[in-house]
Amino acid sequence: MNEGVQLSRLTTIGTGGPARFLAEPRSVAELTDALVFAHRRKLPVVTIGLGSNILVPDEGFDGVFLRLRGELATVSVEDTAVIAGGGAPLAVCLHKARAASLGGLEFACAIPGSAGGGVWMNAGAYGGDIAGVLRRALVVDCDGPAWRTPGELGLDYRRSELRHGQVVARAELALRHRPSEAIKATVAELQTLRKEAQPTNRRTFGSVFKNPEHELTAGRMLDACGLRGYRIGGAQISPKHANFIENAGGATTADALALVVAAKRAAHEHFGVTLETEVVMVGDIGSDTSAGSSR
């Protein structure tokens, strides 16, 4: 258990203060022990995964951050299933699937996160999502591990019913036979689309908002509001895709949050739509992002 680890080094956006504790469990037993440690001290718990899709307060986090290692970050193939530790990058899962000629996970080439994080938020892209391939997940809390089906996880569009302190330690992904060359071709096509449309060579946390039930996506809506390139402090709404916030140099979490508020306000004023954030807000930093909403 490490203390005072600077979280800006572990997040893809590059912001955030120190964590009171950082635990890096390598087994289900060690993960359970870390969760019991936090529970007994009444400390909040957050799993950081690969550091994407998360915003951490600039002043830090008075709790326990988890980063899964060891057997909790391995990937194997059994028949037509990929068995992934919660800390395993989805990119590695896809690589293993392609090597075994197993298709169905190609959409994951656009998701820079872990298998556990993918389950936790039902990550998806290009028409596919984790709910479409997940057989079951091993969820650990301070009472120990338990397997849960997609129905028991409550998977929906970019969300599940899991909460902080409930950690996906393992996921079983049910795939199907497909020639590896066909998988490679699909992945190449999707990666080209992603590089053309998204700021893949910039520091971001991924998509800011979920797409609303509207004819326009969140990105197109914010683009229509004239927000591409809009900057506050060291953070800016990406000039390439308006549903991304970039660290343009020396950004703070406060800068990024100010952009989130400005974007929500603009979408509500121009379209009457209340955008919902996709990024996970740690602590109470998201309490002010409802500005401009109808609630």
Q: Is 152 a catalytic residue?
A: no
Report residue 105 as tokens.
Answer: 């996970």
Q: 212 burial class (0-12, 13-18, 19+ CB within 10 angstroms)?
A: middle
| Choice among 24, 106, 246, 278 that is catalytic | 278
SS3 232: strand
* Residue among 52, 114, 160, 207 flagged as catalytic: 207
* Active site (annotated) includes residue 246: no
Helices (H) and strands (E) in the chain, counts: 7, 18
The dihedrals phi and psi of 291, each to the nearest 5 degrees, come to: -55, 135
∠217-220-222 over CA atoms, to 5°?
Answer: 105
User: Is 20 a residue of the active site?
Assistant: no
Q: Are 147 and 137 in contact (CB under 8 A)?
A: yes
- The DSSP 8-state label assigned to residue 66 in this structure reads E
Distance CA 183, CA 77 (A): 16
Residues 6+ apart with CB under 8 A from 251: 13, 14, 15, 203, 233, 234, 235
d(CA 267, CA 292): 9
Q: What share of the chain is helix, strand, coil (3-state, %, to 5)?
A: 35, 25, 40
Catalytic residue among 67, 148, 158, 170: 158
**Catalytic site positions:** 158, 207, 278
